[in-house]
């Protein structure tokens, strides 16, 4: 179970990720996300999700062979076009600020909600934040944000 506080005003808000039936201290506004075990309490927010289980101990060729043929084609095409990616597994505060700035500029163009810096820094402070960025000719074209407890992403 991974838990972190995202803010404390006016109510203390705690997010719990990858819940598996552990005891949770009451008295806070608690949000459950990506739970491994169903939540049975009546007054909590619970976000449903779907996931894939991938055995990352397999070698690269075996993993690649298990990918859907369309996605394998897309990966090979991206390699030919010299698409590159950058994985940040231990982001610094400065990385988080840059990510929020870039994302919020994109969100404004697309009329999407902004990425909350305080939320992102809460995840980063807990050591659970990872993100990857994709570039073509030094131009940023995509970002994925991941939350990990060391076992599940």
- The mean of the pLDDT values for the chain is 86
Cα separations in angstroms, 50 against 19, 32, 33, 46, 88: 14, 14, 11, 13, 24
Share of the chain above pLDDT 90, in %: 54
So what's the pLDDT on residue 138?
83
Chain segment 93-145, per-residue pLDDT in tens: 999 999 999 999 999 999 999 999 999 999 999 999 999 999 998 888 899 99
Q: Say which DSSP state 26 is in.
A: S
- Indicate if 137 and 103 belong to the same structural domain: yes
- Specify whether 89 is located in the same domain as 122: yes
Q: Is 87 found in the same domain as 137?
A: yes
How many domains are there within the chain? Answer: 3
Do 104 and 139 fall within a single domain? yes
- CB 116: neighbour CB atoms within 10 A? 13
- Looking at per-residue confidence, does 11 or 90 come out higher? 90
d(CA 131, CA 91): 8
Q: Is the pLDDT of residue 43 over 60?
A: no
What is the extent of the structural domain holding 66?
Answer: 54-81
Q: What is the CATH number of the domain that holds 97?
A: 3.40.630.30
């Amino acid at each position: 179970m991974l838990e972190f506080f995202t803010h404390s005003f006016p109510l203390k808000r705690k997010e719990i990720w990858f819940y598996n039936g552990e005891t949770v201290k009451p008295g806070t506004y608690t949000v459950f996300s990506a739970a491994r075990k169903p939540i049975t309490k009546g007054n909590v927010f619970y976000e449903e999700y779907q996931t894939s289980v991938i055995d990352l101990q397999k070698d690269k060729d075996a993993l690649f062979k298990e990918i859907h043929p369309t996605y394998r084609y897309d990966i090979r095409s991206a390699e030919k076009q010299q698409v590159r990616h950058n994985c940040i597994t231990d982001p610094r505060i400065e990385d988080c600020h840059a990510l929020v700035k870039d994302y919020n500029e994109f969100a404004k163009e697309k009329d999407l909600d902004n990425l909350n810096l305080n939320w992102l820094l809460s995840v980063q402070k807990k050591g659970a934040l990872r993100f990857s960025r994709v570039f073509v000719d030094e131009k940023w074209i995509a970002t994925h944000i991941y939350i990990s407890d060391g076992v599940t992403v």
